[in-house]
Structure formats: structure tokens, C-alpha cells
Amino acid sequence: MKLLLVLCLLFVRQANSENVHDEQEFEWHNTMSTMEQDFELTTPFYYNLTSTDDMMVNATPEIDLSPPVKRVLREIFRSYEPYCWRRSYGRGIGRPLHACPDHAPEQDGLLCYPLCRDGYNGVGPLCWEKCNNLTSFGFACMDVRKSLRSCPWYDKCGIFTRACSSCPGNYTNFGCLCGQFYFRDSYSRGIGTPLVCSTSYEQDGALCYDKCNDKYNGVGPVCWQYCPITQPVPCLAGCSTTKQDCQQTIINMIQSVVGASITILNALIGVPLVDLTTFDILANAAKGDWVLVARDMSNLAKKLTDKLLPELAKKFLDWSFKTLESATRNASVAITATAFKDKRLLLPFLQRFRLDAINSAFNHGKCDLPDDFFD
């Protein structure tokens, strides 16, 4: 982290003066936000470029990234990261389908049918005429009752003397019994509609689940957030900026802070310029000229700041410009230094940086929600 401060110092000097050989003593800006009162952006320090490496190490106090710088880093990640992991939560194991749709509200077994006309009763795909007071017997209606009789003892049922027994109207006289029988009228009401979920549930396959929140989309037992505008393309468990970015190699790369830092530098500054500066940095590192290494990285960080500051100014409207400028410079230096973290030739230089401090702020990993704000 000590050399990170050296890099920050050189970057401020580059921004304030075109002649790097002028007065060699500087102080990093120490401004405060109107919203983040009493939050120091960094610890102020002084450094003379003509000092030895030992003096360089001893002259720089150790500091951690402040809340404003972390907030700027988080916003940079959200705006320029090609991939983010979607937020999600469980909504239970689901329950079986249990309701009928409005156009077929009558359930029979595992299917739903439209209601039958008045005077008809539904049984599966058919509507059968109701038997009213008669007994239904499959496709017919029938009723059997005793007849009213006043017959002699030798012909109790009136078999031989029909006049001695009587039946109600529409009944057939069988002597001791009266019977009514006719075939029921019927018509089809369709093959049926499968069961669905009630309005308080959401259907997925053959199960019903609790509805997800407005900002989430349900897939089986999990609610996944909708992709944000910065990464609009759904990509497995995350979101990406384009379909081309939705590849496993990209996903693996951006899981590291180094890969994300390189992506941002290439996107905002341009690959040819970054590659050319990287060549100079590695060449100076091979010669052990760490002052030139720091200057080159400072120049790269300044170009990154120039690209970021206009966009960030539109989002941090409640911050003073000095606060935003200083925080953006700090963030740009951290991103630039992180992008070179895997360069073995620079290990003697970068091992002094406590770059792990930006992991949680920069490589947040989660996609943004419409009303989400910084933690």
C-alpha cells in the first residue's frame, strides 16, 4: 500500500504540472463530501522523488481505501463490468397444480371443463341431462315405486285386473310396481383443460410457486433478478453486456479483480495505448527503474480518470467536484495497479501494495437493482 501512495502522488503531480522535473514535494488532496462528512479520502503525505528506495518506503504511511473511494470503485464496476452475478432467493419447493382456469372452472379429476347448460350435469367431457327426481343410471334415468292398489286377494298386484292398480303420470304400470325410464340427452363440452395454479401462485412446469418480487423473475424454486441496464443480456446465473461476453472464458476472467481491471482499462483507454504503456512499464521494471514505472502507471491512471470523471459527475450529484475528483483519482490508481498484479516482473514493486483492500468494493460481483444503493 505504501507504493500505492507513491503512485497516487505521482499521478497528482502529473495532473497539476506538465514538467515532472519541477518541485518534487506534493500533498494528496484531502477533501470531504457534503454527504460524507469527516471521511478522509486518503492520509496526506509528502515524498521526494530524488530519495532512495529505502526513504521511499519509510516516508509513506500505510492507509486503507476510504468509503468515498470504495463507493466510486463500486460505481465503476457497475458501469463497466461486462458480467455480474444475478441476485436470487428461494421460494419453496412448490405445490401441485390445484386450480382451474376461468374459461373452464369445473374440475373433474385432473382436468377442467366449461360449465354445462342449465338442466345438465357434467361428467368428464360430456354434459348429461339431469334426471331431476329420478335416479340416474349411466346414460338413462329411471325410477321404480309401488303402485296404488285395491285388488282382490287372489290378484294383489292387479296382473289380471289392471284397473285395481294405478301409477302416477309418465310411469308404466307393472302391477305391483310403477316404473319410469328414458335415455338421457347429452352433448360434448371438450376434451378438458389441465389444472393450473391459483392467482396467488406462479406456475412453472407442473408445480406452483409463490410469486417473486417485482424486480425478480421466477425459474423453478428460485427467484432471479432481472438484468440491469448496464448488463442487459441474461447469461446463466448472471447478466452480461453482450451475447459475446456470455462465454465461460469471460465469466472466469471477471471473477478476479485483475481481469476486471484489465477489462476496464482496455474499454476506456483503448487496447493499443494500454499495451504500449504496459511495454514501457515492463521494460523499466526489468531495469529496476521503479520511479519510471510509477510515472508510467501514473500517466495511465490519469487517462483513466479523464475518461471516468465526466460520467461519474452525472451520478454523484450530491458530492462536491473536488471530492469526486480526488476519489476518482484514488480509484483510478487502484484499478491501474491491480491490472498489473499478475505481472511477475513487477512483483518487487507491486508486493508493497495492499491491493486486497479493494476486492470487496471493486469486485462486488452482484448485479445492480433499480433502487439499489451503495452498501
- In whole angstroms, give the CA distance from residue 57 to residue 290: 12
User: When comparing pLDDT for 313 and 52, which is higher?
Assistant: 313
Dmax of the chain from CA atoms?
144
Region 358-369 average pLDDT: 61
- H helix intervals, 147-256: 248-254
At residue 121, what are phi and psi to the nearest 5 degrees?
-125, 135
Among 25-29, 205-209, 334-338, the range scoring the smallest mean pLDDT is 25-29
pLDDT band at 373 (very low <50, low <70, confident <90, very high): very low
pLDDT at 352: 62
Which of 23-32, 60-69, 267-276 holds the top average pLDDT?
Answer: 267-276
Whether 196 and 97 have beta carbons less than 8 Å apart is answered as yes
**Average pLDDT for the chain:** 76
Give the span between the Cα atoms of 2 and 54, in whole angstroms. Answer: 12
- The arithmetic mean of pLDDT across residues 21-27, rounded, is 30
- At 94-124, the pLDDT tens digits run 999 999 999 999 999 999 999 999 999 999 9
In contact, 235 and 245? CB cutoff 8 Å: yes
pLDDT of res. 8: 55
Distances (CA, A) of 99 to 107, 116, 219: 8, 18, 20
Mean pLDDT of 183-203: 93
- pLDDT of 116 reads 95
Judged against a pLDDT cut of 60, whether residue 223 lies above it is answered with yes
What phi and psi values does residue 208 have, to the nearest 5 degrees?
-115, 135
Residue pair 372/74 in contact (Cβ under 8 Å)? The answer is: no
Which pLDDT score is estimated for 260? 75
How many whole angstroms separate alpha carbon 148 and alpha carbon 150?
Answer: 7
The pTM of this model reads 0.51
254-287 residue pLDDT tens = 667 777 788 888 888 988 888 888 888 888 888 8
DSSP structure class, residue 18: S
- The grid coordinates listed for 274 are 494500454
Mean pLDDT within 123-129? 93
pLDDT of residue 13: 53
> CA-CA distances (angstroms) from residue 40 to 16, 25, 121, 159, 374?
21, 21, 80, 116, 18
What residues pair up with 239 in beta bridges, in sequence order?
84, 234
Specify the range with the lowest mean pLDDT, choosing from 10-19, 29-38, 203-212, 228-237: 29-38
CA 36, 39, 43 angle in degrees (round to 5)?
Answer: 150
Q: Are 245 and 82 in contact (CB under 8 A)?
A: yes
